[in-house]
Amino acid sequence: MNDKNNFKPYIPAEKITPEITVTSIIVGVFLAIVFGAANAYLGLRVGMTVSASVPAAVISMGIIRVALRRDSILENNIVQTIGSAGESVAAGAIFTLPALFLWAAEGKADKPQILELTLIALIGGLLGVFFMIPLRNALIVKEHGILPYPEGTACAEVLMAGEKSGASASTVFAGMGLAALYKFIIDGLKVVSGEISLRVKGFAGEIGTQIYPAVLSVGYICGPRISSYMFAGGVLSWLVLIPILVLFGENAVIYPATVSIAEVYNNGGAGAIWSNYIRYIGAGTLAAGGIISLIKSMPLIVKTFTGAIKGISGKTSNDSVRTQQDIGFKTVLITIVVLTLAVWLIPAIPVGIFGAGIIVIFGFFFAAVSSRMVGLVGGSNNPVSGMAIATLLVSSLILKISGNSGITGMISAISIGSVICIVSAISGDTSQDLKTGFILGATPQKQQIGEIIGVVFASLAIGGTLYLLDNAWGFGSEELGAPQATLMKLITEGVMEGNLPWGLVFCGVFIAVVVELVGVPVLPFAIGTYLPVHLNACIMIGGLIRLAVERAKGNRDRRKKAVNNGILFCSGMIAGEGIAGIILAVFALLGIESLFDMSDRVPDLISDVGGILLLLVTVLSVFIFIFRRNRNENREE
């Protein structure tokens, strides 16, 4: 990487090319809504989301460069900037806001209104963007060559590569189409099983795998190491802890269950043991993992925050150089004040003056932290959940001490945590996008406007998406476990009501400590302990596919291209399954899903065999598209 003093962007500062256009806004908004909905669905299923920047850039080039025959790399950059904002709003929202639906389902509170959800997402998203604007000069410009911002740099490389004949876009669209078809076969027609399980007589543990392409794709994108950590957590929960509980607990009655462990197991199998006990152990592991990650990052956090404060300058908006023009500092400051007052005064957001103060202090702090973290380790490793947990603990304690307890206090705490979570997610995304723009020679001010546009439209869509998914399947169900939001709910209740099974939670906490001591990354392992093993196993299959591609024959450059082609194809599969899931949710809401349901015509054995075959077809599809694309590229060379 060139030193920042000698760095020359791809498009020189003196050259003016189209950036924000009607076309870029329309395409960008469409992608923001699509990737926002797809990532909301994915995150509620597996507790993780994936970056939308690269696939959004590829699709943008497929539409603007190939279909419309327009040639402006900065216009494509605006599309991916707007489009990726949808994924980040969804990531922050689904980690926390479904807790409000879970309390409504328990009869503790009314269902949140769409307006409330929209305003929380909108204010969190806008604060994330505006907090990041004065930090750009310190983190993106002054530390160029120090902070690599991996996703932002990769996105710039993809855009500069020019996408030969739209081949990369076709790879993404192929993945979207195949995954949508497979999803419809599994959950629409229901002619094959979406999950395969293996049990051994006399042993209470259970192993198996899901069949879904999006889950497999998460494993491919995360890679074999992260996938193996998650799978190891699942193995511990389902093949060690569950059998131990059944074997030694037998006649014990442990809260939250009201009957003996043996009766719980006899009535519901390993899944019932997981639901009643293991998920609390997993919650302890996940909470401790998030806090440990945050503590380990504290030296970096302090350095980042102090450095960012020193680097803030209000003069960048007046610079005559196009590539140094930000939205004016006064505008930023006034907007932040207005948004803070809105948090306090708007009745639809159940947050008082204490909550507004917490949001501003924690929000700016975590915006700087999030930007620095994604600059070093990438967006996938940004400890957003750890920041949300820390915020929830502090806000819940402050609210409880101030007398705002009970369900009212819990809703306020989740609302505060939601805004902070979205702030952290959006500031990380904005940083990656601004890094892409810095390399390409984009106008920062126009990118920041693009981020605002993406946040606005993604926020307008997220409330309806959450309502749709909840009405179709319900959060906390087998289809939509909402693991992160359930964890946030448990933490808030634990502080406010003290009703957590603390013995189980502390078992999870010390599992996290042991894992950290032996040098295993604790967060992916913790997520694995919390999620069903079937889901972790499918993620592991995706990781093994990535491992096979990385070790395939050929030179290093060709293997790297093959891996990247797989990432594009799997990104498309995630988007395709997410879109199909939203469509099926609409069918369920309209009551017409039974028109497609053929499950009663297919014997269970045939359904299970069909599931295995479909999984094999999915794996083969990934390999075929990766290596066929690679052969075509090699011929072109």
Contacting residues for 506 by C-beta, under 8 A, at least 6 apart: 284
Distance CA 169, CA 67 (A): 11
**Mean pLDDT across 584-588:** 76
Q: What is the DSSP string of 342-382?
A: HHHH-TTS---HHHHHHHHHHHHHHHHHHHHHHHHH-GGG-
- Measured between its terminal Cα atoms, the distance across the chain in Å is 26
Beta bridge partners of 210: 195
> Is 610's pLDDT higher than 60?
yes
The pLDDT assigned to 348 comes to: 75
Of 632, 502, 614, 516, nearest to 178 (Cα)? Answer: 614
pLDDT of residue 50: 64
Q: DSSP 3-state assignment of 194?
A: coil
Higher-scoring residue by pLDDT: 67, 157: 157
The 3-state secondary structure of 477-495, one letter per residue: CCCCCCHHHHHHHHHHHHH
Amino acid at 264: V
With 60 as the cut, is the pLDDT of residue 636 above it? Answer: no
**Does position 407 have pLDDT exceeding 80, yes or no?**
yes
Number of Cβ within 10 Å of residue 197's Cβ equals 15
Both structure tokens of 407: 């369900």
Is 371 or 227 the better-scoring residue by pLDDT? 227
From the number of C-beta atoms within 10 Å of its C-beta (0-12, 13-18, 19+), residue 93 rates as: buried
CA 209, CA 540: separation in Å to the nearest integer? 9
Under the banding of pLDDT at 50, 70 and 90, the label for residue 168 is low
Sign, Cα dihedral of 242, 243, 245, 246: positive
> How far is CA 64 from its chain centroid?
27
pLDDT of 515 reads 94
Question: Nearest CA to 596 among 190, 181, 182, 179?
Answer: 190
Distance of CA 21 to CAs 11, 63, 453, Å?
A: 18, 14, 12
What is the band of 542 on the pLDDT scale with cuts at 50, 70, 90?
A: very high
pLDDT classification of 313: cutoffs 50, 70, 90: very low
In angstroms, how far apart are the furthest CA atoms of the chain?
77
Can you give the three-state secondary structure of 263-291, one letter per residue? HHHHHHHHHHHHHHHHHHHHHHHHHHHHH
Q: Which residue has the higher pLDDT, 631 or 102?
A: 102
E-only strand ranges, 34-169: none
The pLDDT confidence band at residue 491, using thresholds 50, 70 and 90, is confident
Q: What is the pLDDT of residue 316?
A: 42
CA neighbor of 474 nearest in space, from 379, 589, 572: 589
Q: Given a cut of 90, is residue 181 above it in pLDDT?
A: yes
The answer on pLDDT for 599 being more than 60 is yes
Percent of the chain surpassing pLDDT 90? 28
DSSP-assigned states of every residue in 615-629: HHHHHHHHHHHHHHH
HSE of 330, CA atoms in CB hemisphere, 13 A: 2
Question: Mean pLDDT for the chain?
Answer: 83
Strands 207-210 and 195-198: antiparallel
Cα separation, 440 vs 437, in Å, equals: 5
* CB contact burial 318-341 (16+ within 10 A = b; e otherwise): eeeebbbbbbbbeebeebbeebbe
Is the pLDDT at 604 greater than 70, yes or no? yes
Burial of 30 (0-12, 13-18, 19+ CB in 10 A): middle
- 68 and 23 in contact (C-beta within 8 Å)? yes
Q: Count other C-beta atoms under 10 Å from residue 243's C-beta.
A: 17
Distances (CA, A) of 128 to 29, 147, 413, 429: 18, 19, 19, 9
Angle formed by the axes of helices 22-46 and 213-222, to 10°? Answer: 100
Residue of 124, 74, 132, 142 whose CA lies nearest to 327 = 132
Q: What pLDDT is stored for residue 29 in this prediction?
A: 94
> Residue 209's beta-bridge partner residues?
196
Output the pLDDT for position 462: 92
Residue 402: CB atoms within 10 A of its CB come to 11
**186: pLDDT strictly greater than 80:** yes
DSSP helix/strand/coil, 209? strand
> How far are the Cα atoms of 200, 203, 236, 245, 314 from residue 266, in angstroms, in the given order?
15, 12, 21, 13, 66
Whether the Cβ atoms of residue 233 and residue 635 lie closer than 8 Å to each other: no
What pLDDT is attached to residue 1?
A: 42
Residue 210 DSSP label = E
Identify whether the C-beta of residue 219 lies closer than 8 Å to the C-beta of residue 546: yes
What phi and psi, each to the nearest 5 degrees, are found at residue 531?
A: -90, 155
256 preceded by a cis bond (ω within 30 of 0):
yes
pLDDT at residue number 122: 95
How many structural domains comprise the chain?
Answer: 1
CB atoms within 10 A of CB 619: 17
Give percent above pLDDT 70 in the chain.
87
Distances (CA, A) of 540 to 24, 65, 178: 37, 36, 20
The residue that leads in pLDDT, 29 or 218, is 29
State the pLDDT at residue 218: 81
Higher pLDDT, 40 or 380: 40
List the one residue out of 414, 446, 478, 550 whose CA is nearest residue 45: 478
* Cβ neighbourhood burial of 179 (10 Å; 0-12, 13-18, 19+): buried
pLDDT at residue 215 tops 60: yes
- Distance CA(71)–CA(143), nearest Å, equals 31
pLDDT at 318: 44
Please give the pLDDT value at position 441: 92
pLDDT digits 0-9 by tens, 134-164 = 888 777 887 777 777 867 777 787 777 654 4
**Which positions ≥6 away from 316 have C-beta within 8 Å?**
136, 137, 324, 325, 326, 329, 444
CB atoms within 10 A of CB 45: 26
Q: Mean of the pLDDT values across residues 429-441?
A: 91
Please state the rounded mean pLDDT for residues 616-633. Answer: 82
Strand partners, 195: 210
pLDDT of residue 246 exceeding 50: yes
Half-sphere exposure of 113 (CA within 13 A, CB side): 7
Which tops the pLDDT comparison, 516 or 587? 516
Highest mean pLDDT among 5-9, 26-30, 326-330, 372-376: 26-30
Six-digit token string for 532: 């069903």
Range of the domain at 623: 1-637
